[in-house]
Amino acid sequence: MTKIEGVKFDERGLVPIVTQDARTGEVLMLAWANEEALARTLETREGTYFSRSRNELWIKGATSGNTQKVVSVALDCDGDAVLYRVEQSGPACHTGERSCFHTPLLEGADSLDGVLARVYETITERLRTLPENSYVARLHAGGIDRVLKKVAEEAGEVLLEAKNGDREALATEAADLVFHLLFALAEVGVTPADVASVLQAREGKSGLKGPKDVG
């Protein structure tokens, strides 16, 4: 059995590739691959596609530098579409936009995992550059104990608002808690993906297991 058995290429020998950011869940682009391009992606873990206009293989970032490290590849239930989950370096779209899907037809809230990943990336970027007048820079200057104190303070606010049953206030305080929790994670080099891996390991057929149910 080959790694690409089950893929239903169309009459042109192509299959559509949906490319998704592995960290945020954001859909970055839609492209095509033939069997050779897909096999090369599986072998090298570089986002590799087939250009219908040029009739040749192309590797994302080969000329622009906006490379894609492929984390995983999945086949859809019908076998006629493939999903690349990637770590994208730079913008995915040739226009310079982060995603090719940057023209909204219907506005809606982003997924929570996508927002968390972007907030975390912003925190880590500001920890690297420490821009003047940045809240991140000011809090970081106080040391890890100051960051952890903020986590504890915001957790207390969440408890109070949950007890009061004020949904709007609870959402606001929960957002503050999550921000400072991400801040604490960034300070010690733990990523949202690390946390997601732990939660994923706790998932079972009967549902999510709590910490006391594991081990």
pLDDT digits (tens, 9 = 90+) for 76-128: 999 999 999 999 998 999 999 889 998 888 776 677 777 888 899 899 999 99
Distance in angstroms (rounded) separating the CA atoms of residues 154 and 149: 9
pLDDT digits (tens, 9 = 90+) for 134-154: 999 999 999 999 999 999 999
pTM above 0.75? no
C-alpha separations of 118 from 28, 107, 179 in Å = 14, 18, 11
Distance in angstroms (rounded) separating the CA atoms of residues 7 and 76: 9
Distance in angstroms (rounded) separating the CA atoms of residues 110 and 145: 32
Distance in angstroms (rounded) separating the CA atoms of residues 28 and 84: 10
Name the CATH code of domain 112-190 (choices 1.10.1760.20, 1.10.357.10, 2.60.15.10, 1.10.287.1080).
Answer: 1.10.287.1080
Among residues 63, 61, 49, the alpha carbon closest in space to that of 18 is found at 49
The residue ranges of every structural domain in the chain are 14-88, 112-190
Its CATH class, for the domain covering 14-88, is alpha beta
